[in-house]
Every structure is written in C-alpha cells, then in structure tokens.
Structure 1
Amino acid sequence: MPSLQLGSPVCSCDLQQKGMHADTSVWGMNPDVVSPSWSSLANLMDDEADEYYEYYDEYTQVEEEPSKEIVHLGEPDWVDLSPHYRRIQQGDLCSSNPCKNNGWCEMRGSNFTCLCSRPYTGDTCEKVEDTCVDNNCVRGDCLVTLTKPYYQCSCSHPYKLPDCQQASSQCRPNPCKNGGICMRHRMRSKFTCNCPEPYQGRFCEIGPDDCYEEDSFYYRGRVNQAENGRTCLHWNSHLLLDFSINAFMEDAKSYGIGEHNFCRNPDDDQKPWCFIRKNGKVEWDFCDVSPCSGTDEEIQEEENEMFKTCGQPETQRGLKRIYGGTKTTAGKHPWMVSLQRKSSRRVTHFCGGVLIKSCWVLTAAHCVENQAEDLQVALGKQNLKRREHQEQIFDVEKVIMHYRYRVKDYVPYNDIALLKLKPIDGQCAIETKYVKTACLPDFEFPAGTDCFISGWGETETADMSLQLLDTSVKLISQKQCNAPRVYDQRLDESMFCAGNLRRGRTDSCQVCCFFCII
C-alpha cells in the first residue's frame, strides 16, 4: 500500500448521479497510443497542450489505513469473487478485527461474527442499542450510557430522579446560579431566573467569557439553549442514535461532544449549534451564544504563495449531518472545484472538478459541452448558497475535451476534459488552507483500494445538498464490473469502476464518481 506522501485520496464527483460508476483510465488505453508520464503531462499543460489528451485519467489513492466501515458480515463486498481469492481471504477475516467498539471477532465456518459489548450492536458492533425502549423518563429525556444499567434520566427542573415523575419546589433550593433570583409561576413546574448582569441563561449559568472565537469548531462553553429558546438535547440522548453526530460517534471527544447538552460546532458551521426537540420531532438550530469581541473583524487576506504541495489537506474534520454523505469542513478537500454555468439571471453549479495546477482543472467531458465563455469555476467552496471568504472565482479561458470522448449505450468513453482558467491580474489560483492542488498518479491502484468521493448536488434521497459532501467507496475489479448483472461487458480497458456491490442487488453505490485523482 503506497505511503501518504503523495497525498490523501480524493475523487471529485457530481452527486447528481447514482449507481456504480465506470470511467476512463490511462492504463487501459490502446498500446499503440503514446502515453507520456504525468510529469510530461504537467509540462504539456504549461505549454498549452494540444488536442491529444488521452493521457489524463482518473485513479484514486489508498488511505493510510483501510476503511473499517466498509467491512460487512462475511466476505467483503468489493472482492473479486474468484475461488482462489476466497481461499486466501476466508481464513483471515478476523486478522484485522473488523469489529468496532472493542467487539470480539470469531470465525464461524467461512464467515465471521462480532461479539459486542453493551450497549453496542450490529454486524460489526457499529450501532448503539436503544436501551431506553423500556425505560420511560416522564418529564425528561432518556440518555444512553456506556455503564450499567446503560441508561439514565435527565429530568427537567424541578422534576426529580429516578424517572422524572415527581417534582420538588421550583425555587427550593434555588436553582439559579451566580446570584440569580428564582421567581415561581402559578404552574408547579414553571419558574424564571432573574439574572444579574452580565450573566444569562435559564439558570444564570452563562458568564461574559462564554463566547466563540472565529473558528467556532473549538467552542467548549456551556451554553445549552438554541436561538429559539429551546433547551438542547444531550448528545447521548436516545433520540439521536440514528444521527451520525452523537456522543457515540468516532472521536466524539475531539469534537467536544460527550454526555452533556452543551452547544458545539463539530462540522464547522457558521456558529455552535445543537439538536432540539420541536413538535415531537428532532431538529437542529444554532445556539444562543455570542461571538467573542474581535471575531467580527474583516478576515485578513491569505498570504499569496505558489503551490508548494499537492494532495495534502490541512484539516480532516468532516461529519455526517446530511443523510447519505458526510458534511465536509472547509479545507478537507481543498482541490475540489465547483463548475458553474453563467447566465444573465444567475450562476448555477452543475458539475465537480479537481484543481491539478494553478491554472488547470480536471473534470468530466460530459460536463463541459458548453462554450468556455459560459463557464466559471469556484475554488475553496463549501456551501454553494453562501459567499465564503475563502473562495476564489475564475472564468474559463479554454475547454479541452478528450478527442476520443463519446457516449455509447449510456456509457461514457474517455470521459475526461481539461479547463484552463483565465488569470486575474496575471495570477490564477493562489494556494491557501482552502485551495490546494491534487497530485497526479504515476501508478495503477488495485481493486479494493479505498477511495473518497466528494461533491455537491442530489443524493440518493433525491434531496439537494448545497453543502459539500463526501463518502467512501472501493475500486472494483474489471471482472466484477463487467459481470452480466452489472455492466455486462460494456466497459473497456480504458475505464475503472468504483462503488459498493452487495449480494442480491446490482448496485448500492449511493453517489457516483466522475474521476478519481490522487
């Protein structure tokens, strides 16, 4: 497995398509066609390459460690289903322990089984059992815990443990902090804390220093109230078990998330937020927390630098809050490009691309059948709806499509193109934390290689995402991809496949990749 010195794996994709994808690959082209190395390609681009662009192809790079989330009960989905391969793998399924959360792997015949510790469950101990099913917290919320009895109630004041059914006096003892005065209402459960300056919050627990800095990802304050006044749910609430952001997600502590209900910003949104319960449904809302003084100042322009590295993002943060994909954070895919169509009325995103040099973007040929003057690209984008301080916008000077690009039986062949950006004041893209180039591969990746795909658009739920998403798939062998139940020999050696095949279904790949570039 190659080292990460070439950079993290990336696929630049249009999420508006579904199904397993096959696309162009330089390694499978006609041997009679001369195919110079990627370094030669870089030189050609510097000299405004001619119409022969059979050299530009898509492959992905492996991660530093295999993705454990891809492992399924029994034989992995992505393997080439040959008898020889199965003989090699069947006795080795537990060697890497595919069981999560300290689960124990046991071989049973040719398959494996994970023995999970409560409250974890699922084929690979990847889920958390809802231990609150038979435990009712009447005037509160039931929380899932990792210690016996694996649940506890969080009662709304003035209701008391163990089941939040009985209430004490609203103001005895005084629940208000920092000198706040408790005022009783007519209803036994209602009260108000009159807070002295500068304290605020339901219990006067929020002090003047509880604010968020410019990067609110690092907010670790104690505000637990949304802007609409509702109290935040605990991150370990049983109501959040089906959400990807909760107290049981991977590396929860590094995001400031745990068995509490304080506001956090694990996905680099505008400001800290939390989940709330509204009209019997779980929603999210930004929190009633203020920015620290000085954070509203104009953001200083990034230092202009030439591109010194490729394929190395400065952030790895990315969490699932949008169903069907990971809501990424600024800088996680700094080579990702939004291709946009200009009109007299508006600018519309329609495809993805990858920045490979300061003035060059690699994309799919079927995306750029428009004239260059109708196109622009946006670099450093995360949310298509907002204007973002880190974005860089360029018009397209030239479109160069693969001269053998064609579509036959709905399958694109040689589906690759280059866009040359139009410089502004003699300068194209400038390297920042949010804008970097992807590396170009000089070797072929085997089937089973983990691959990240990223993009905007329609997900498998048919909902549109204006936020950049990513997910992972595996490269699939040509033999599997050309099987009768999949593409039925329609793919030639100039293509490769990426997706997740599962038994009993032709295709379960949730999003579809145009091309994969290191």
Structure 2
Amino acid sequence: TVCVCWYCGDLSSLLLPLPWQVELRHTKRGTRNYKERCVDGQSAVVRGFGDTWLRWRGQLVERCTCASRGRQRCHDVPVTTCYQSRCYNGGTCKEMVYSSDYLCQCPPGFTGAQCEINTTEKCVVGQGKGYRGTWSISQTGSECINWNSTALRGRTFTTKRPEANSLGLGNHNYCRNPSDDTKPWCHVYKGTQIAWEFCTLSSCPADQSPAECVQGSGQTYRGTTAITKRGYSCLAWDSPLITHKFYNAWRSEARELGLGSHNFCRNPDGDLGPWCHVYRNMKLTWELCNITKCRRRPTTITTLGPRAPTTNRGTCGQRADNLSRPSFRILGGARQSDITEQPWQAAINVFRSTYKAHFFLCGGVLIDSCWVLSAAHCFDERFKPERLQVVLGQTIRKNSSSSDQIFEVEKYWTHEKYNEETFDNDIVLLKLKSDIGPCAVNSPEVLPACLPDPGLVLPDWTECEISGYGKEKEFNAMYSERVKRGHVRLWPQDRCVPNVLSGRLVTSNMLCAGDTRGLDDACKGDSGGPLVCPKDGKMTLMGLISWGDGCGKKDTPGVYTRVTQYTDWISGKKQETSH
C-alpha cells in the first residue's frame, strides 16, 4: 500500500501542539498557570484561581477572590470576633459573619496569615526546628521556593501536610527545618530541576540561646526537648487534638507561656516541671518531660532589669501616682484601673488537677519581698502550699506581661484563732518561694503596702482605697478580667454593728468601710485584697477585705480584718522562718 502526501509544504505547520507543549508555553517552573495565580507583592503569598481570602484595608476587612489573569477582586465584608482564635502569638482573630473565613491582626514583630512568622528572629537555636523567621536564601544564594507552590507537588514537606502549621510550613518561602535535619533548609531551583539546600542562617550566640535544663519548676524553660520521661513524642501545642485543652497555642498569652507552633516541653501552669500532651494507648493525656536540672543559676537576669529587692522600709506605700488618671469603681464600674495604681495588689491562684490549670482564688497584699497577706477564709480547703501561686504586677488577670512576677508558695499560716463561722481573725500570711534570697523586686507595677504601727487609729470617714479582681456584681458568673479600685471611707466603730449587717457578729478585730453613695464596694473574689489609707504620705494597709452583706448596698459597709491587731503576729511568724 502506497500513501501519497498531496501537501508539499512544511509539515510542522499542520501539526497541532500536544497538551504538554501548551502547558510549557504558559507555565513557569512548574507553578500554576501564570494567568491563574495571584501573588501578593508584599508577602510573596501565592494563591490560585478561585481562591478566596480576607485582608485588612485600613480599619475595614475585605474578602478577595483570585480571578483570571492574576486579578484580585475584593469587596468589604462584616466581621466579628472569632468563636475560637486561630492566631498565634497573641494575634487578634476576626471572622467573616456567617462564614468560617478568618484573618488575624498581628502584634508588632509578627506577620503571616496566623501571626506565625516572627520578623525579629535573626538566628537559629540548636537545629532550628523552632525557627519562624523570614530568611529565604539558600547557602548557594538561591531564592527559596514557596512551600505552597504547585512545583512541590508530591514532595514530602509542603503546606499540604496535615501538621504543616506545627512544622512552620505555610504560604511563604522562608527557611524551615520540618525534617529534624541539622539546620533549616528550603527547596530551590537547580536549572530546571528542584532540589533542597541548607540556608545561610547563623546560630544564636550562647547567651541568647535558651538553656536545655530547668531551674525550679521550669516555668521559664524555652528549650527544644520534645520527649517525655516515658519516651513519648510530644504533640504540638497547636495540634487539632488539643484545641479544647486549657493550654494551647491559641491562648492570648501563648507567647509569654512559651506555647506556639511547636511541640517543645513547657510548664505554663506551674506544675512540677515542663510537660506536654501525648497520645498514648489510643488516649490523649499528658506527661512530664525528661529534662535535667540546671547546675547553677544563669549569671544575668534581664527580664526585670536592674531593680532592688522589695522591702517594707522606705519604699512601701509610695506608688508613682498619675493624677491625670481617673479612679475607677471596684464594683459595677465600666472603666478599670491599672496595677501601677495599686502595685501591692496580688492575685492568688490555686491549681485544680481536674483541669490541670491554675484558677483565681482570692486577692492578697504584698507587705515585704517574700510576704503576702490575705483572708483566712480563702483557705478553708486547706490547700497544700505547692498548689498555690501568687502573681504580682498584673493588670489584666488572664494575660501575662513583662511586668508579671510569679511565685510559688513555700508555706502559709492561718491565724490560730480564725473562726470559720464568724470570720473573726480572718487573716493568713503566705511566704513566697525563691531560689536566690529576695522574691519580689521593685517596679512601677510591684511595691509593698506599708504595715501600720500597732494601735494606729485614723479619723472616722477617712477616705481609703480598695482594689481587686473580684466580681463587678454580686451574681456575676465571672471574676473581673482586669484589676479595679474604688474609694471607701472608714466608718465610726459605733456604726459598725450587727444591725446594719443583717445581724452578723462584728468583733473588735474587724472594721467597717463603705461608700456613702453606694457606688464603690468590695465583692466576691476581692477577699484578701487591700484596704489602704493615706498616712504620712504613704498608703498604709489598715484592712483586708473579709466579708459583707451583699455588694454595694446603700448604707451598708463592707467588713475588713483590722490589720493593726495583727502586726505582732505577722512579725512573729516572719521571725520563726529566719532561724
């Protein structure tokens, strides 16, 4: 059989391009079709045709769609606070109304869709498994490929991995170490091929690297151990398995607690030592980690600066008053105070094993570097000292900050004649635990109140201050998120009687104070907090918040433990421990 070609021209002009040839004409190094992707010029985020996302436009939020030819079509949408935050490092989470789409407003120093990228991180610690900085150049000078690029389809480490967030992988091209290698690396182009290379990141100096050992209970441990004492691998703090747990990477104070997109051992709740969540025998549980104790304390402590130990001589009761600030009601007020206005205020927390977390118990008053007073009735359950935690310098109760000073309790003494029925002698003295001698140190947020001289009596109707984290109304379900203070006046003793307090016994160890307007008063949760009054230019502790008939009732005072009755008792307990 003979086939005859009737066309004598160039046969190539008749050939249709094959599908793979069309793809080569329109693609660039294996990424999606150039016409069908949108690239953010500022963040290098790559999105495909049809992808949607939210973004900020000033104070408004837009919903954008990646359209044809790389065009972005955006329109304003209403947003609300996320039901469950998905932002790292204290970012604020907003979600679109009637949608699961969300975006994060990041604090300074962080960026990324979930505030997961640390723009200030310039070196790596250890193998760099926790590195979340923005370096994107390999050791040969090549630009890293975006972990979300379709060019990496089929590769082991991409954003398609279920645990991509925990590994630091996202819609970016920054160096990471998801494979437990010796240092961070990334994918790069080698001609028309894709390879991987280590990045040109330097190791952090020794004095900037966290110690791989624990001091005390290890609440400040920021190392990279991720194995428990039984040899189980830790789950990441942002694992979907622990989103319902009290401590995870989504907490507003997660960064201060050392929690993030990693699985390193931490001790956010003051347990016996660093721990982590594990999945053992088909069950989610937790275990302590296998980390050695530090041999000696670091030579420098930089978090609090060069401050002197707090003492009760000379500096007590002398806050840095700012007269331009308003004073705020402790009960029912819409505005709140700042801890610098009552730097002697303490929050006492107790560890609840059921929830594996510390919960607010009562207020307290710092009277010396290692000593805090509170109300005895707060300790009716006779807690073991190791379950207690004292927090100083905290304006917002649930948010950690650089001003916080957190201590375990070495021991506490309830007054020997405390009466659980009448609340007579309602006082307890706590000794804070310290490894280096002094406990609390002076700062604008932490200062002791002055103890009164024995027998000190102030004039009737002297205006004094109360403060605390208690409820704003008697039947509120929750305690206040933020410290509050109010003004009350000392009532004459002849008006501090059972008749104005529903018949309850009032003893000589108690005093009354209240706001004649019925506005300011202590309430549930304020117990143990301070009643301080001005004396010789210093705020002197005259009372401890003890009990009352409701909260804020007009012509009904609050009842306070009369501190002048206990100065000898306090001195005696302190001397017992010095021998």
Band the TM-score falls in, shorter-chain normalisation: 0.3 to 0.5
| TM-score, normalised by the number of residues in structure 1 | 0.40
| TM-score, normalised by the number of residues in structure 2 | 0.36
Q: Which has the higher contact order (CA 8 A, sep 6+)?
A: 1
